Structure 1
Amino acid sequence: MNKNIQCFIIDDEPHARDVIKKFVSRVPFLEITGEFDNALEALFQIHDKKPDLVFLDVEMPEMNGFEFIRTLQGHRPQIIMVTAYQRYALDGFDHQVADYLLKPIAFERFIRAVYKVTELLPGLEPASQTYPSNYLIPEKPVKILYQPIKKQNNNDDFLLIKEDKKLIRLVIDEIVLIEAMKDYVKIHLPSRTIITHVTMSKIQEILPADRFLRVSRSSILRKNVIGEIEGNQIITTDGKKVHIGITYREIVMKILKNKV
């Protein structure tokens, strides 16, 4: 599967939608293509936009989540039910949903549900064929519930990156440099590089601003690998030379001077 997994979020609670959006923003191969506060409106859009995955609440006005599923004809995306009521779990699996998330949602549990969907979608190699079932899950929960990643200083923060047909758990503080390649980016790690389908603006949005710096249209650098500045180039601690864009130079120099 060469495209991102396109997602709908259907929930009448704004806060619940915000939580899902924050979690989706941490997974570069997930893309939100529709957000709805009622299932009826989503039903009118689903055949045109054809999402791969729907995060679906149960109790909503006009049409509840199960009625939405029963009404689907033609295109049938994978469904992850999201609800505050455990009593709906059995009904959810009777409706052949991919997984069932109980509010408040932990990010670790969210990732497990996404992991399961990758095994069900055609054209995407299941991550379980490449990694053990706990590979994508840190030993301790990621502490980002209801908080954006940019406020975190946890060395265990990670992203899920899609490379070819594999899912890779990537610790954020192992990223040295990110370079743009049109609709792809090349992520430099100490021991290897990874190429994945995501835009620079998307990856910049995901990465914590206190640890990463955009130095040109085509480069994002982790701040603590900056060794010195030589003309319009940054020399990293391992000797890499990274060009500073003209329009970025002033803000780069200002940020670095404040760090001195």
Structure 2
Amino acid sequence: MECLIVDDDPLICDLLNHFCSKVEMITSVTTTNSGFESINLINQKNFGLVLLDYNLPDITGKEILQLVGQHTAVIMITANKDFASESYEYDQIVDFLVKPITFARFFKGIQKAQKFLSGNEQSESQLFIKDGNKLVKVDLNEVLYIRSAANYVQLVLAKKKILTLMTLKEIEQKLPGYFQKVHRSYIVNVNKIDTIATGELKINDEEISISDSYEKELLKKINLLN
């Protein structure tokens, strides 16, 4: 999973980053001391896990929670025990760690996050997509790739294409882990890739460009899934 740490205390960020480096299932870590910057990061990237401080000087962790996708696991980091009961109102909160944090307690939270994310992937093999004036059930295992077209996205399957009014970012948040963004306009089903070359890949003879910024993430995901 890709992890975002949001805490205004640099020492806590360093500690959590250190803890994350000891966990094999965490593939990358991004840290920020700013709540507002975290919003930009969340909008730019689909993090699997967010370690979120409740008390931030510029915006509260509670406000940031409103913007985190339902398929992202969140572990709250705080000294405020009073939020513990309220946290159960948020489905994506998997654990609540009170400072000071030990590695053993941190790792227990990571295990809960992994279970949460695994459950999402198992339950998300199907998705209802609006196609014109009707809802169409799509088997995501059969989707080859997804392409953005202005305010629409096109889901390309072997025998049909579905066009729906949605942004690439919106649909990315609904996809299971075997999908990977490879270009600002493309998300691919990693299991459907036939070949990968420098700067491009092929799915059913369709050539799709790979942006430099996504190539490393794509290769990492292929290694994790195989």
Residue 84 of structure 1, CA deviation: 1.2
Which amino acid letter does the alignment assign opposite residue 38 of structure 1? S
Deviations 1:165-210 (A, max 9, x none): xxxxxxxxxxxxxxxxxx89xxxxxxxxxxx85xxxxxxxxxxxxx
Residue 14 of structure 1, CA deviation: 0.4
1:80 aligned to 38, 59, 75, which one?
Answer: 75
Partner SS for 1:9 = strand
Residue 68 of structure 1, CA deviation: 0.4
Deviations 1:34-80 (A, max 9, x none): 211112111112132111000000000121100101134x5751100
Alignment match, 1:105 = 101
Which amino acid letter does the alignment assign opposite residue 42 of structure 2? I
Structure 1 contact 10–57 (Cα < 8 Å) conserved: yes
TM-score where L is the length of structure 1? 0.44
Residue 6 of structure 1, CA deviation: 0.4
Alignment match, 1:34 = 30
Structure 2 contact 6–38 (Cα < 8 Å) conserved: yes
1:44 aligned to 27, 31, 40, which one?
Answer: 40
Structure 1 contact 50–75 (Cα < 8 Å) conserved: no
Distance 1:61 1:124, change over 3 A: same
Alignment match, 1:158 = none
Distance 1:49 1:75, change over 3 A: farther
**Larger strand fraction of residues:** 2
TM-score where L is the length of structure 2? 0.50
Which amino acid letter does the alignment assign opposite residue 14 of structure 2? D
Residue 32 of structure 1, CA deviation: 3.2
Deviations 1:131-173 (A, max 9, x none): xxxxxxxxxxxxxxxxxxxxxxxxxxxxxxxxxxxxxxxxxxx
**Sequence identity (%):** 30
In the alignment, structure 1 residue 59 sits paired with structure 2 residue 55: yes
**Separation of aligned partners in 1, 2:77 and 2:52:** 6
Which amino acid letter does the alignment assign opposite residue 64 of structure 1? T
Alignment of 1:182-193 (within 5 A): none
Alignment match, 1:14 = 10
**Separation of aligned partners in 1, 2:67 and 2:25:** 28
User: How big is the alpha-carbon RMSD for the aligned residues of Structure 1 and Structure 2?
Assistant: 2.5
**Separation of aligned partners in 1, 2:105 and 2:29:** 22
Residue 16 of structure 1, CA deviation: 0.7
**Separation of aligned partners in 1, 2:30 and 2:6:** 8
Which amino acid letter does the alignment assign opposite residue 57 of structure 2? P
Which amino acid letter does the alignment assign opposite residue 61 of structure 2? G
**Separation of aligned partners in 2, 1:116 and 1:100:** 11
Q: Which has the higher contact order (CA 8 A, sep 6+)?
A: 1
Which amino acid letter does the alignment assign opposite residue 8 of structure 1? L
Alignment of 1:41-190 (within 5 A): 41-72=37-68, 76-96=71-91, 97-122=93-118
Residue 106 of structure 1, CA deviation: 1.1
Unaligned runs of 5+ in 2: 123-218
Unaligned runs of 5+ in 1: 127-182, 185-195, 198-260
**Separation of aligned partners in 2, 1:75 and 1:14:** 27
Which amino acid letter does the alignment assign opposite residue 66 of structure 1? K
Rg (Cα) greater in structure: 1
